[in-house]
Structure 1
């Protein structure tokens, strides 16, 4: 893998991570009781938006290098041309604008409805920039990819935000109960959507079962599925065993938090595998 492809995969992983945090934060704000939103969550959201901006710029830089057949160091002079004269560049500019607006809204500390609209628009535009968007907006592959990106973001995001920020050691068990129930339901719905759209997208890109074990793309996809499966098993344990035990005691909440953190590491691995898929040619397109 050359430098441009490596940077492209890294940028894709960081962008998914930042987008997931923003989606998870939005969900957490809706599920927490009034006045219970952690004070530092707004600053974490702003940091995620800045990270997403940097990752988008890096992705545009690598796209310029790949389109022009240039080394990364020489792609800067062509970046503006790519942004202003190609469909991929135009979509990248829209992503940057959406992220700047999101950063501005989170700076004010208000506007959750606006943030939701920006997140939905971001997912739709990003989905249009890959193989699923080749037929245009509103096609079945594009809609499936948009839902897939949102599902990944919600599941990964709520696990990250809950495990590393919301479920703080000093959280009152009674206050956590309602949040955990809503978090569990939201994550379950996201997993269902992720499974349905993931199977569809994999079939579209593989063109059959054989490439799963005969191509690098297939093995990368299998690694991603394996990580997701283990994360799903941990999520199921939390849903059926951890959450019922969490409501009466602070120790129970601590157990849920630790499982969520392990789950988050597995999901980050799945995000990394998905990023590697973006720099590989799908077997169905060969």
Structure 2
């Protein structure tokens, strides 16, 4: 097995929205804001090469939205999904599986592209199976008013129309093993219904793709919950459960949204689970 970080692009969001009720004087220490109160964020995805399979976990915002839409997110940097794949010798047509942690636009927008004449949409990975779970699909396709702006139909419905949509079976507990993809999954409901956090066995390590359970290093303390979470009081015990297991087992946490810290480990302290070490992907994905 080989792992590759796929940088799909950087953006900015309001720091207050990213940290909910936590005061700026506190979160600004770990995630410094600019003059407009915006903090740097990444859309860092993960590619798994496992035998004849190439599994892409999440795929960023994509590029089919309007300039007005992207203007809200202050895109910066030169990363793109295609350039990142090319860096490692791959093309989007090589992808066999697309695993979507959840269907918010910054995680799944790259799933679907415009067709050639921009009269409709087509899947961006024509040879891939797209994986989500039925509970989350139902949640996303019949969105509540709070999340409606994050679940964009043009990112979601063309996957079903293509015939490439597949559902993973939900376990009876928070943790389950995907026989289809050969990794463990932690199911979390605080951010959105049945967000999936994959845990990949890589050599002697466990790599956890943290999605929006722990977006950045600054979100490690339990009360540091995004204003975007639909059930913040549920996010906290979910984070506690996962981070304690991560600390006990020395899991490596791959941060999707931290623009400046790629992979971390955590440890138990008197103040709770806190940062232990920071690594670049190059150091871990040898």
Instruction: Give the TM-score band, short-chain normalised.
Output: under 0.3
More helix by share: 1
Q: Which of the pair is proportionally richer in strand?
A: 2
Larger Rg: 1
With normalisation by structure 1, the TM-score equals 0.27
Calculate the TM-score normalised by the size of structure 2: 0.27
- 1 or 2 for the larger relative contact order (CA 8 Å, sep ≥6)? 1
